[in-house]
């Protein structure tokens, strides 16, 4: 009997037939043979099924009716055969040698339940910008707080998580934006985690990507706050950062609305952020953006 793969590179996809082949190719080109590529199709109505068929037995596939990205990732965690899960968005791709960096970090930190590096951003014109390497983590609630305070970031394609983490934690279903923040923060609060100073993924900008989907962002609103700050999942000392995170979510919503030219709604979000945690919200940048909204709305 063949040994089970140590890694499952998981690619959830929905109507990304024009991109998913690039993501799959980047996974299949990784060095070594102790990994599988698992693609879960969230009920796509485009040519995604035809694209997946071209790969034959080189990948594992599953399809279900449309349930959203969080439910699709949770389903993938149930199906995955590897001990470690690497979730890769279908419109992004892994960099050459990414799996080698994950292997090395896991070997160096055998107690870790999540390891992550950083990414390269690629804009619509192909310009590349590498993010700063992640800082050394300090452990537990301090990392939880720093992550929520945006002192470092975590992105799909840059992180590997133990599959058995999902016996305790899951992506919060019913949330269409920021569900990854919830899972990553809860993991930082509950489990030993570590970073490494290498980029493992390219994150591609393009029109219509989910992270720029204003209706989805507005539909989610502050649901991420309630989904994250669950007393049954977080230590008691983590709960004191709820207001800080609420302010951060209001600011994130405000930036997205401002970018979309929806000045009145952005103004409301900035005021809510100021009320939630004025110490973090009242920065010169945020005040300037708020004034821009006031001038644009004429009141």
pLDDT in tens, 86-140: 999 999 999 999 999 999 999 999 999 999 999 999 888 888 998 888 888 888 8
Q: What is the mean pLDDT of residues 252-260?
A: 87
Same-domain status, 193 and 250 = no
Answer whether residue 1 shows pLDDT above 50. Answer: no
Same-domain status, 199 and 63 = yes
Same-domain status, 46 and 154 = yes
CATH number, domain of 117, equals 3.90.550.10
C-alpha–C-alpha distance, residues 222 and 242, integer Å: 11
99 in any annotated domain: yes
Same-domain status, 132 and 58 = yes
221 in any annotated domain: no
Q: What's the pLDDT at 178?
A: 86
- State which of 211, 244, 278 marks the end of a domain: 211
Same-domain status, 86 and 180 = yes
247 in any annotated domain: yes
Same-domain status, 47 and 167 = yes
Same-domain status, 51 and 86 = yes
List CB contacts of 103: < 8 A, sequence separation 6 or more: 32
The answer to whether 145 and 237 have CB atoms below 8 angstroms apart is no
219 in any annotated domain: no
60 alpha-carbon distance from chain centroid: 22
Q: What's the pLDDT at 136?
A: 84
List CB contacts of 127: < 8 A, sequence separation 6 or more: none
The answer to whether 44 and 118 have CB atoms below 8 angstroms apart is no
Structural domain of residue 157, as residue ranges?
A: 7-211
pLDDT in tens, 185-195: 999 999 999 99
Same-domain status, 163 and 42 = yes
217 in any annotated domain: no
pLDDT in tens, 154-200: 999 999 999 999 999 999 998 888 899 999 999 999 999 999 999 99
pLDDT in tens, 65-78: 999 999 999 999 99
Same-domain status, 273 and 125 = no
Answer whether residue 82 shows pLDDT above 70. Answer: yes
Confidence band of 208 (pLDDT split at 50, 70, 90): low
Same-domain status, 200 and 93 = yes
Same-domain status, 181 and 290 = no
Q: What is the mean pLDDT of residues 49-58?
A: 96
222 in any annotated domain: no
20 in any annotated domain: yes
79 in any annotated domain: yes
Confidence band of 59 (pLDDT split at 50, 70, 90): very high
Q: What is the mean pLDDT of residues 268-281?
A: 89
Please identify which residue in the block is written with the tokens 């055998």.
110
Instruction: Please name the helix (run of DSSP H) or strand (run of DSSP E) that holds residue 93, with its range, or none.
Output: strand 93-94
Inter-residue long-range contacts of 49-57, CB under 8 Å, 24+ positions, other chains counted: 50/17, 51/17, 51/20, 51/21, 52/20, 52/24, 54/21, 55/24, 55/28
Q: What's the pLDDT at 141?
A: 93
Residue 281 or 65, more confident = 65
Q: What is the mean pLDDT of residues 247-264?
A: 88
Answer whether residue 211 shows pLDDT above 80. Answer: no
Same-domain status, 91 and 188 = yes
Average confidence score pLDDT of the chain: 91
Q: What's the number of domains the chain is made of? A: 2
- State which of 163, 196, 211 marks the end of a domain: 211
């Amino acid at each position: 009997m063949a040994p089970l793969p140590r890694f499952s590179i998981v690619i959830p996809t929905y109507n990304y037939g024009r991109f998913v082949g690039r993501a799959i190719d980047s996974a299949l080109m990784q060095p070594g043979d102790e990994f599988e590529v698992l693609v879960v199709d969230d009920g796509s109505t485009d040519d995604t099924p035809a694209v997946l068929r071209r790969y034959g037995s080189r990948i594992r596939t599953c399809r279900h009716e449309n349930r959203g990205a969080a439910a699709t990732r949770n389903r993938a965690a149930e199906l995955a055969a590897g001990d470690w899960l690497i979730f890769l968005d279908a419109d992004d791709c892994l960099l050459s040698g990414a799996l080698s960096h994950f292997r090395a970090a896991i070997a160096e930190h055998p107690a870790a339940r999540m390891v992550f590096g950083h990414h390269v951003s690629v804009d619509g014109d192909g310009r590349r910008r590498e993010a700063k390497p992640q800082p050394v983590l300090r452990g537990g609630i301090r990392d939880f707080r720093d992550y929520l305070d945006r002192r470092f970031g975590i992105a799909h394609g840059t992180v590997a998580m133990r599959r058995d983490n999902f016996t305790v934690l899951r992506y919060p279903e019913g949330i269409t934006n920021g569900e990854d923040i919830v899972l990553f923060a809860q993991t930082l609060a509950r489990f030993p985690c570590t970073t490494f100073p290498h980029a493992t993924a390219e994150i591609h900008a393009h029109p219509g990507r989910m992270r720029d989907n204003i209706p989805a962002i507005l539909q989610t609103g502050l649901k991420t706050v309630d989904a994250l700050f669950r007393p049954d999942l977080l230590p008691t000392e983590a709960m004191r950062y709820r207001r800080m995170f609420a302010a951060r979510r209001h600011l994130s919503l405000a930036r997205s609305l401002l970018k979309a030219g929806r000045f009145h709604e952005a103004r409301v979000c900035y005021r809510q952020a100021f009320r939630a945690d004025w110490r973090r919200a009242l920065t010169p940048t945020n005040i300037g953006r708020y004034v821009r909204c006031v001038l644009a709305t004429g009141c």
